[in-house]
């Protein structure tokens, strides 16, 4: 044009007229807040959003009998409608056959589809993420060749040691659950009329044998725990009624040593509290107790830290952003890379990962109660204002506010890789103006997407530009989307991070047969678990990494582009790290921070 070039980025799929006769609207790369939109574009901006919001369609659901989630009895984030037909015998549930509907622009690119492996039918897993398995095409039996997890190459017996057991609570699959012990004696919060004596079996005397000076350790903030006791206890009897299953409600206590490393001192299981002693018999009981505790932690990681917090809770934000924010909106452009492929991955997960009889139910300890359990945990624990860093760390007692410390917080455990590296990647939201699209987006997120929790007092209210900054509204979304965990390196080696412990403690049912089955059983689930961890850990060939390339519209604004360049420069410092190293090659690398 006479006054310079205008660029249109049309990364979108268009439908033929036989499917949709409506004309598509594409805007140039220049961002506008609603109040600043040029007059000729205002009506087009409204028409685009009206088209994206569409009309309500009839709901659809699965055939295996499971509770219908959403509502007061099973609170849960809302998802995209699937397009499946209702079951004949239960209109509130969907039929299992047929593809899940995913908006076309949310689907995998052709590059990813070409890279997806074809899996043998008996694996029972549709590809959830591109490509991590090397399909051996010339093999006669459809064998799968899987790269050995890095832990297996280094020391296959490290998982037996107490120090490694403790280290992996901070630096392996699930660094999100450990918390500070803030009261003593430990007590369950469940109804005593239903669950009996609330006092923990981990007593002062038991811990005193290990560390000498419980109250001093408590006062100096050196006692920590993995506490799944109250979350799992309501499910113990139900899971034990399933075939080939066992479950305890567990609580593991750690002590922070002078060298800033953790040491396990006690494990509580609902039926047995194994002694912490050093003769051969007690050592085996202690090892078996650790196996149960690890299985609970792995299951919690995959179902809650991963599926619920990273995938499921993000979907309402994606749907609301596409319905309420124009493609011209600067906040939409900021968030859009963090939503990439999430809806497609979620749809495939609902088909073959978290579905009735799927990988999660078959290979993890919660069995058919997996989604029901996740609804309970969502209802009790999920809070938007604690999703990002450092709020998550402060809520678990792992950090305290300290203006003199870097990033404004001081860690209770100095050697906490997830926290140390994650705080470096925490991004402060930029200044933006209040506008009707932003209000519409936030209202839909709170009142519809997370409607079961819309009345909670902790939801931030966005009235001024400072509200977005002070509550870290945008950062609270991006942290769960981007900064997570290295799964395959630890979870791919089944003895290290077992997903289930099918046999009860020998002191509960002391028979040789049961003990023998405990050693034989893990191998049956091991293949499917390795394939799943492998798929979930792979970077796709067209992965987009945090800060690698600027959003197209930023190039037109010198102030924004300069801020991007400064941020990219800070990321270079993290290249010396591994798990949160910003850029990675394709495949299973144990590093890299994708946008989404």
* pLDDT for 145 beyond 70: no
* pLDDT for 240 beyond 70: yes
Higher pLDDT, 73 or 494: 73
Q: What is the pLDDT of residue 380?
A: 94
* pLDDT for 164 beyond 60: yes
Confidence bin at 267 (pLDDT 50/70/90)? very high
Say whether 156 sits in a helix, a strand or coil. coil
Distance CA(263)–CA(247), nearest Å, equals 24
pLDDT mean over 542-563: 83
* pLDDT for 523 beyond 50: no
pLDDT mean over 461-480: 60
How would you write 492-561 as a 3-class SS string? CCCCCCCCCCCCCCCCCCCCHHHHHHHHHCHHHHHHHHHHHHHHHCCECCCCCECCCCCCHHHHHCHHHH
Cα–chain-centroid distance for residue 581?
19
Instruction: Please report, for residues 125, 153, 185, the alpha-carbon distance to residue 492 in angstroms, rounded to integers and kept in the order given.
Output: 16, 12, 37
Percent of the chain with pLDDT over 90: 31
128-140: per-residue pLDDT in tens? 333 333 333 333 3
Confidence bin at 516 (pLDDT 50/70/90)? low
Cis peptide before 185 (omega within 30 of 0): yes
Q: What is the pLDDT of residue 307?
A: 93
pLDDT mean over 148-154: 70
In the block, which residue shows the tokens 């509200």? 467
* pLDDT for 318 beyond 80: yes
Give the bridge partners for 253, in sequence order: 225, 266
pLDDT mean over 251-271: 92
Name the strand (E) or helix (H) holding 224: strand 223-227
Higher pLDDT, 57 or 331: 331
End-to-end Cα distance, the chain: 36
Q: What is the pLDDT of residue 56?
A: 38
pLDDT mean over 432-444: 78
Q: What is the pLDDT of residue 107?
A: 83
Cis peptide before 390 (omega within 30 of 0): yes
* pLDDT for 528 beyond 80: no
Q: Identify which of 49-53, 204-208, 459-463, 520-524 has the greatest average pLDDT.
A: 204-208
Give residues with Cβ within 8 angstroms of 524, minimum separation 6.
none
Confidence bin at 557 (pLDDT 50/70/90)? confident
Give the pair of three-digit tokens for residue 279: 């003769």
pLDDT mean over 584-594: 77
Confidence bin at 180 (pLDDT 50/70/90)? very high
Say whether 33 sits in a helix, a strand or coil. coil
pLDDT mean over 544-564: 84
* pLDDT for 183 beyond 60: yes
Q: Residue 58: how many CB atoms within 10 A of its CB?
A: 10
* pLDDT for 531 beyond 80: no
Distance CA(107)–CA(341), nearest Å, equals 6
352-379: per-residue pLDDT in tens? 889 888 888 988 888 999 999 999 999 9
Q: Are 361 and 368 in contact (CB under 8 A)?
A: yes
Percent of the chain with pLDDT over 70: 75
pLDDT mean over 165-185: 92
Confidence bin at 481 (pLDDT 50/70/90)? low
pLDDT mean over 567-576: 78
Helix, strand and coil percent figures for the chain, each rounded to 5:
45, 5, 50
Domain architecture of the chain: domains with CATH = 150-303+485-536 (3.10.450.60)
Average model confidence (pLDDT) for the chain? 79
Give the pair of three-digit tokens for residue 68: 């219908």
Confidence bin at 78 (pLDDT 50/70/90)? very high
Q: What is the pLDDT of residue 464?
A: 67
Q: What is the pLDDT of residue 522?
A: 41
Distance CA(319)–CA(279), nearest Å, equals 57
Secondary structure (DSSP) of 360-425? HHHHSTTGGGHHHHHHHHHHHH--GGGSSTTHHHHHTTSEEE-TTSGGGEEESSS--HHHHHHHHH
Distance CA(203)–CA(214), nearest Å, equals 10
- pTM score: 0.75
Name the strand (E) or helix (H) holding 43: helix 39-53
């Amino acid at each position: 044009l006479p006054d310079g070039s205008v660029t249109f980025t049309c990364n979108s799929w268009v439908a033929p007229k036989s499917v949709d006769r409506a004309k598509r609207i594409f805007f140039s790369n220049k961002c506008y807040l609603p109040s600043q939109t040029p007059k000729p574009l205002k009506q087009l901006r409204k028409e685009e959003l009206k088209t994206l919001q569409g009309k309500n369609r009839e709901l659809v659901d699965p055939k295996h009998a499971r509770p219908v989630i959403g509502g007061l009895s099973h609170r849960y984030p809302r998802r995209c409608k699937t397009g499946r037909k209702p079951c004949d015998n239960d209109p509130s549930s969907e039929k299992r056959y047929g593809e899940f509907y995913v908006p076309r622009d949310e689907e995998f690119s052709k590059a990813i589809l070409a890279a997806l492996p074809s899996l043998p039918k008996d694996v029972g897993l549709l590809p959830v993420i591109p490509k991590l398995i090397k399909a051996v095409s010339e093999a006669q039996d459809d064998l799968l060749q899987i790269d050995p997890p890095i832990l297996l190459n280094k020391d296959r017996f490290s998982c037996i040691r107490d120090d490694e057991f403790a280290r992996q609570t901070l630096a392996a699959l699930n660094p999100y659950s450990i918390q500070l012990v803030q009261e003593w004696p430990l007590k369950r919060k469940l109804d005593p009329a239903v669950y009996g004596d609330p006092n923990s079996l981990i007593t002062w005397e038991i811990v005193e044998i290990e560390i000498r000076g419980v109250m001093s350790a408590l006062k100096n903030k050196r006692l920590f725990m993995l506490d799944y006791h109250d979350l799992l206890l309501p499910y113990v009897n139900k899971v034990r009624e399933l075939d080939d299953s066992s479950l305890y409600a567990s609580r593991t206590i750690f002590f922070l040593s002078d060298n800033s490393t953790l040491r396990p001192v006690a494990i509580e299981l609902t039926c047995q509290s194994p002694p912490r002693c050093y003769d051969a018999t007690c050592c085996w009981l202690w090892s078996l107790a650790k196996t149960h505790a690890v299985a609970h932690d792995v299951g919690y990681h995959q179902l809650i830290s991963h599926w619920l917090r990273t995938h499921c809770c993000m979907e309402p934000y994606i749907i609301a952003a596409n319905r309420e924010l124009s493609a011209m909106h600067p906040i939409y452009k900021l968030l859009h890379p963090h939503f990439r492929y999430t809806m497609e991955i979620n749809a495939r997960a609902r088909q073959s990962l978290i579905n009735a009889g799927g990988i999660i139910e078959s290979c993890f300890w919660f069995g058919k109660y997996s989604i029901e359990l996740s609804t309970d945990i969502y209802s009790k624990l999920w809070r938007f204002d604690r999703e990002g860093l450092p709020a998550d760390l402060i809520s678990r007692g792992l950090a305290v506010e300290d203006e003199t410390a870097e990033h404004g917080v001081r860690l209770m455990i100095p050697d906490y890789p997830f926290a140390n590296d994650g705080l470096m990647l925490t991004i402060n939201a930029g200044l933006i103006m209040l506008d009707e699209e932003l209000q519409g987006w936030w209202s839909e997120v709170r009142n519809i997407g997370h409607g079961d929790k819309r009345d909670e007092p902790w939801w931030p209210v966005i009235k001024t530009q400072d509200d977005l900054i002070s509550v870290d509204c945008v950062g609270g979304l991006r942290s769960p989307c981007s900064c997570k965990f290295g799964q395959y390196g630890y979870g791919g080696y089944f003895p290290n991070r077992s997903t289930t412990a099918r046999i009860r403690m020998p002191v509960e049912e002391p028979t040789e047969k049961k003990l023998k089955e405990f050693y034989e059983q893990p191998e049956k689930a091991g293949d499917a678990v390795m394939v799943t961890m492998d798929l979930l850990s792979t970077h796709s060939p067209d992965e987009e990494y945090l800060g690698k390339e600027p959003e197209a519209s930023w190039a037109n604004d010198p102030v924004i582009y300069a801020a991007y360049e400064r941020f990219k420069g800070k990321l270079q410092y993290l290249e010396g790290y591994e798990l949160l190293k910003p850029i990675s090659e394709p495949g299973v690398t144990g590093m890299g921070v994708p946008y989404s």
